[in-house]
Amino acid sequence: MVNYRADQLDRIFAALVDSTRRAVLARLEREKSASVSDLARPFVIKLPAVMKHLDVLEEAGLITRSKKGRTVTVQLRPDPLQAAMEWLSHYQRFWSTSLDRLAIYAEGKEAEARRKKR
Amino acid sequence: MTTLTLVRQIKAPPSIVFEALTTPQGIANWWGPDAGPVLLAETDVRVGGRYKVRFRRLNGDEHECTGEYLEVEAPKRLVMNWQWTSGGEPAEKGNLSRLSFDLRPIEGGTELTLTHAQLMTEASRNSHGQGWTGALDKLMKHFS
């Protein structure tokens, strides 16, 4: 369970590699929810292939599916993706600022060393 | 694997950059997400040696990170694991991430590549919103 979050984040990024899956997510973002057959319509690939893509997205926690009668409705779950992005940007800020200061410090030390040489 | 990579070109030779990365005096001058001070920096730069850095952010929050050096190859490469601690005790259920610095000599200085991997291990530090854990808990409930 400790590593579950790590696995989950890997799955998210693996899920996002594919353009069909990104197209599905983009559409769900616009329309909030859609049936599986609606989602499959714009793609040249067959329904079972679309279902496989939905499996990947669902395993990554990016969508949910609910069945009512014969219709399966798909909905976007934005939270996990947002959390992943927040973490990346958090560390991006942390290290970006740190490295800027590191560069200034090291360059100052180098200038000092050169002055001493003269 | 989720990885953050940043590259910087620094107008100083690798030996000086490596020193800045590894000495307490060097670390005190740059470590942290804003202009807040480094309160404590300890390093034991050898494979298996440990480091500890405590810093205060401008908003007054204090944070401490600690870890072990995994690879030390002056002045080319430094790899360490990374963990947030609170009062000396591991936070985050002891989860570690991995931090590496690679230094390559270039004309007029050094190209530094920073890689921080497995960032999600600190996910539970997320203090705003329901965070990662909350989202997954909800997801688990949804399917149980």
- Right CATH for B3-143 from 3.40.50.2020, 3.30.530.20, 3.40.50.11440, 3.60.60.10: 3.30.530.20
Mutate to test the interface with B, among A86, A110, A112, A115 (most CBs of B within 10 A): A110
Please check the confidence at residue B123 and state whether its pLDDT lies above 50.
no
Task: Over range B123-141, report the average pLDDT.
Answer: 37
Mean pLDDT, rounded, for B49-69: 94
pLDDT for B19 beyond 60? yes
What are the domain boundaries of chain B? 3-143
Residues whose CB falls within 8 Å of the CB of residue A51, separated by 6 or more in sequence, listed in order: A36
Mind listing the pLDDT tens digit for each residue in A58-103? 998 899 999 988 899 999 887 777 766 776 777 888 999 999 999 9
Chain A residue at shortest CA distance from B93 = A2
- Across the range B100-126, mean pLDDT stands at 78
Interface residue A99 vs chain B (CB under 8 A) = yes
Residue B90 has pLDDT above 80, yes or no: no
> Under an 8 A CB cutoff, do B33 and A94 touch?
yes
Contact list in B for residue A6 (CB cut-off 8 A) is: 118, 120-121
Q: What is the reported pLDDT for A29?
A: 81
Band the pLDDT of B88: cuts 50, 70, 90.
low
- Residue B137's pLDDT is 39
Mean pLDDT of A16-41: 87
Residue B33, min C-alpha distance to chain A (Å): 4
Highest mean pLDDT pick, A113-117, B45-49, B91-95: B45-49
Partner-chain contact B95 A2, CB within 8 Å: yes
Q: Which helix (H) or strand (E) holds B3?
A: strand B3-10
Q: Identify the closest residue of chain B to A113 by CA–CA distance.
A: B16
Task: Report the distance separating Cα A110 and Cα B57, nearest Å.
Answer: 28
Smallest Cα distance from A44 to chain B, Å: 31
Closest CB to B119 among A2, A88, A97: A88
Rounded to whole angstroms, the Cα distance separating A106 from B103 reads 13
Identify the pLDDT of residue B133: 38
The ipTM is 0.78
Q: Does domain A4-77 have CATH number 1.10.10.10?
A: yes
Contact B136 A80 (CB under 8 A): yes
Cβ separation B131–A8 shorter than 8 A: no
Average pLDDT on B17-37 reads 95
Residues of B in contact with A101 (CB under 8 A): 29-30, 32
